Structure 1
Amino acid sequence: MAVFSSGGQLAGLTFPSLSTPWQADGTVIVPDPGIPLVEAASDAPGVWRSQPSVRKVVDFIARNIASVPLHVFERRGDTDRRRVTDHPLAVLLAEPGPRVTPFRFWHGVLVDFLLHDRWCAQLLPNADTNSGYELRRIPASRMRLLDDGWGQVAAVHIVDPDGQAAEHDPAGFVFDHGWGGANGVPPTETLADILAESAEAVRYRRGVWKNGARVPLVIQRPAEAPDWSDASRNRFVEMWRRFTRGGGMEGGTPLLEDGMTVEKVDAFTPKDTQDIEGRRLTDAEVASAYHIAPELVGAREGTYSNIEAYRQMLYRDALGPFITQLEQTCNALLTPQLDRAGQLYVEANIEAKLRGSFEEQARILQAAVGAPWLTRNEARGRTNLSAVEGGDELITPLNVTEGGLASPLDTAPDESTRES
């Protein structure tokens, strides 16, 4: 258990001195109306802003999962189910809150989880929405899950924007957390050393280029050279500064005097530091920490035989566990609050992402059913054309019959060329 003292510096952030700690269930929390201490401890916003590797991987995961629609189904039997679109649960998933799109809501939830290892949303009644409810995302920096000592969440501790802290019954919330306690362990803490090394490398490169990317060298002046007056020495130093960044003579050749020689110093150069390889290594380490193949975020070169294989690997092997986790959380904590009968469940429509192009679908479906599967008006609707009279009938070409050709694009063999 971590106990925070009043005032000090943590994770590179300085927070003000506080006088009255708040304690519940053995956890010491110091409320801060400006920046909650939970946020200061993890510094996730700072990592999001300053660490391109973390932002690249986290945003890759969040964007791809948030774009997968969540559908609601009614369980009618072991082999029978029906898509539900008019139930408050389905309407809520399509409209989480006023002026909030499903993509933006779940993107924020997933970023919370990937950076803080916990996320939380509160189910509230709202007469202004079509479902009568809204899901309000509680930023992970302003909430903390209180443990009962057995790994179960006993309460949700929230610090509102006014700095007022309160405990809430977890029954009205939807939340999840990783291993290591009720609040999980942020992956950024595990990656702290790697991220700090990357930050130092960026700071070094910036300093090198700021100084004109000069080669490490020293200027030697022979001992028998005449004495240097202060004016002469200052004039030479000022001349040399003109060849650095901002001096006006960058890239030129300075003139030496009095038998001076230039000696290169055996030190690190920008090339020796292998900054490009260092960036790729940081990307690969962060991607591996989030169980994402480095090839997906460009950290390593990768080849895919085709787009279909790429989609299969992305949404099943890489993002599949995250999607399953989100589905199970919704079914365990959200669905029972809106479906007392227990007949509904939430499922991510991964097929929408695995689905091929229209040409691929048309070819596969046509071969599967052995006949045309679109009416003329359905085809016209796909190209934003208005319906025509008689266009709702499915046309079957004369060369396609049951047990005959598999596709209207096939042709029968020429009888004259068939071997007898």
Structure 2
Amino acid sequence: MKWLKRALGLDGAKDIEPWKAGQASTENGNNFVTNQVTLAAYRDAYAANGNAAVGLSATWACVQLIAGTIASLPLMVYRTDSRGVRTVARDHPLYFVLHDSPNYDLTAVDFWEFMAASIELQGNAYAVIERGSSGAIEALTPIRPDLVKARRREDGDIEYAWTESGRRVVKTSKDVLHIRGSMGDALSGASTLTACQGVFRDALAAETAAGAMFENGINASGVLSTPPEVRLNKDQREELEKNLREKYMGSVRQGVPMLLDGGLSWVPLSINPVDAQMLESRKYSGEQVCRLFGVPPAMVGFGDKASNWGTGKEVDVLGFQKFTLRKRLKRIEQSLEKQLIPLAERRAQGLTIEFNFEGLLRADTASRYAAYASAIAMGIATRNECRALENLPPVEGGDVVTVQMQNVPLASAITAKRDDDGGSSPPADPPV
């Protein structure tokens, strides 16, 4: 497919062959290309491109949570008229591209999940801007961020270059959408994998060590000793070590009886089960990764013995929305407005691009209906407007803005009572 060739650099199909130990670590470390996770030889893989860190459970969970949540939010184009009334600009060409279908191959969720993940991992997200004969934007096609090189030209414009299917492609900022990550400049954002590579190296080392320990069945090593008067020659030592590895090493051979003769004796070395599982070190590494991405550990499964989604976690979710998602959404919104809508059009039509943050309430019916009730009670929205958000047909009389009257001044209530009684009698005493 066209998008797979452009975005993943493949000839129409993903490489889903299982990992082979003899292959180069750089090939298997590139998760964007092979869609695989390789922890073996993690130092070489990380030195090559750092993508082996994507295979860490905490990294994958954090990126999935952030990118997936952003992709699930509706991206809207709004138009504000001279009276200050803002409406959804469904007739604008950008609305369909951003909200529904960025290109022929991808849905909006696919596209924005890829772009958001690129920002988190590589610090940059790129997409080719394709225009029709009228000059209107008709498609956005993502580019692998690790392939793109940006430089400032002599005329001040930014030039983007990458290799696609063996062909070098060079475009200017007019034809490339570039969303930068945090702590960067005009040419590039900061990559989390590069800026904090020490944290990911430590986490990979802990995972690799734990894997080697579990592969051995969490069996401690031991000492094979001979009586003082017996000394083994070189050949005997090599043969004995070979037999031990082939017959008794590993969890598969656990429990196999060991036959010793010639005065040999086996003394196992004790090991602490907690140390063998390395729970504390691995938990700390996971929390470190969560800290880098601004994700509460409980939201990706790094919690205590209590339920990760139990009482009290609402504060974590609210903090995640305010301090992690909000700044990322604002960065994307401003990049889209600046690069996709000309300044004159923004000023003349009052065009803005925003994520609809209320989309997070789609799965929470109680909170959604409570928000509708508050909006109707305060006169912010009509009943038909709220029904439209629920894909329900309008009802007669539902377009009237109403407010509750329980907080009117007391004098007004007395006057209203007298008017109801014909103005001749004072208000009736309250019932006993």
- TM-score between both structures, scaled by the size of structure 1: 0.68
Higher fraction of helix: 2
**Deviation at residue 124 of structure 1 after TM alignment:** 0.9
Identify if the C-alpha distance between structure 1 residues 186 and 119 changes in structure 2 by more than 3 Å, giving closer, same or farther.
same
Distance 1:109 1:310 in 2: 25
Identify if the C-alpha distance between structure 1 residues 78 and 284 changes in structure 2 by more than 3 Å, giving closer, same or farther.
farther
Number of residue pairs aligned between Structure 1 and Structure 2: 352
In structure 1, what is the equivalent of residue 119 of structure 2?
A: 113
The answer on whether the counterparts of 1:218 and 1:263 sit within 8 Å (CA) in structure 2 is yes
SS at match of 1:209: helix
**Deviation at residue 118 of structure 1 after TM alignment:** 1.3
SS at match of 2:157: strand
Selected match of 2:159 from 137, 156, 159: 156
Selected match of 1:134 from 130, 139, 148: 139
SS at match of 2:141: strand
Distance 1:54 1:75 in 2: 40
Q: Is residue 198 from structure 1 mapped to residue 206 from structure 2 by the alignment? A: no
Distance 2:90 2:112 in 1: 19
Distance 1:229 1:189 in 2: 48
In structure 2, what is the equivalent of residue 325 of structure 1?
A: 331
Selected match of 1:101 from 104, 107, 110: 107
In structure 2, what is the equivalent of residue 290 of structure 1?
A: 293
**Deviation at residue 306 of structure 1 after TM alignment:** 6.2
Distance 1:342 1:393 in 2: 33
Q: Is residue 86 from structure 1 mapped to residue 85 from structure 2 by the alignment? A: no
Q: What is the correspondence of 1:218-367 to structure 2 with a 5 Å cutoff?
A: 218-224=223-229, 238=243, 241-245=246-250, 249-265=253-269, 271-272=274-275, 274-301=277-304, 305=311, 309=315, 311-336=317-342, 339=345, 341-354=348-361, 357-362=364-369, 365-366=372-373
Identify if the C-alpha distance between structure 1 residues 63 and 367 changes in structure 2 by more than 3 Å, giving closer, same or farther.
closer
Post-superposition CA distance 1:22-68 (Å, at most 9, x none):
xxxxxxxxxxxxxxxxx9987154433x3333222222211111111
Post-superposition CA distance 1:100-145 (Å, at most 9, x none):
1011111111121111111222221258xxx761112122122122
Gaps of 5+ in 1: 1-10, 15-38, 396-400, 406-417
Stretch of structure 1 that moved more, 344-353 or 73-82 = 73-82
**Deviation at residue 232 of structure 1 after TM alignment:** 12
Distance 2:277 2:255 in 1: 23
Identify if the C-alpha distance between structure 1 residues 184 and 119 changes in structure 2 by more than 3 Å, giving closer, same or farther.
same
**Deviation at residue 183 of structure 1 after TM alignment:** 1.9
In structure 1, what is the equivalent of residue 215 of structure 2?
A: 210
SS at match of 1:272: helix
SS at match of 1:214: coil
Q: CA RMSD in A?
A: 4.3
**Deviation at residue 321 of structure 1 after TM alignment:** 0.7
In structure 2, what is the equivalent of residue 175 of structure 1?
A: 178
Q: Which amino acid letter does the alignment assign opposite residue 294 of structure 2?
A: H
In structure 1, what is the equivalent of residue 12 of structure 2?
A: none
SS at match of 1:218: strand
SS at match of 1:160: strand
Q: Which amino acid letter does the alignment assign opposite residue 354 of structure 2?
A: E
The answer on whether the counterparts of 1:88 and 1:338 sit within 8 Å (CA) in structure 2 is no
Q: Which amino acid letter does the alignment assign opposite residue 357 of structure 2?
A: I
Q: Which amino acid letter does the alignment assign opposite residue 282 of structure 1?
A: S
**Deviation at residue 171 of structure 1 after TM alignment:** 2.3
**Deviation at residue 316 of structure 1 after TM alignment:** 1.9
**Deviation at residue 86 of structure 1 after TM alignment:** 1.7
The answer on whether the counterparts of 1:42 and 1:116 sit within 8 Å (CA) in structure 2 is no
Distance 2:405 2:237 in 1: 102
Q: Which amino acid letter does the alignment assign opposite residue 144 of structure 1?
A: K
Q: Which amino acid letter does the alignment assign opposite residue 104 of structure 2?
A: P
Gaps of 5+ in 2: 1-23, 28-44, 408-429
Distance 1:124 1:226 in 2: 79
Distance 2:58 2:64 in 1: 10
SS at match of 2:103: coil
In structure 2, what is the equivalent of residue 33 of structure 1?
A: none
Q: Which amino acid letter does the alignment assign opposite residue 333 of structure 2?
A: E
The answer on whether the counterparts of 1:156 and 1:168 sit within 8 Å (CA) in structure 2 is yes
Identify if the C-alpha distance between structure 1 residues 338 and 159 changes in structure 2 by more than 3 Å, giving closer, same or farther.
farther
SS at match of 2:128: strand
Post-superposition CA distance 1:135-165 (Å, at most 9, x none):
121221221221369xx97323222314343
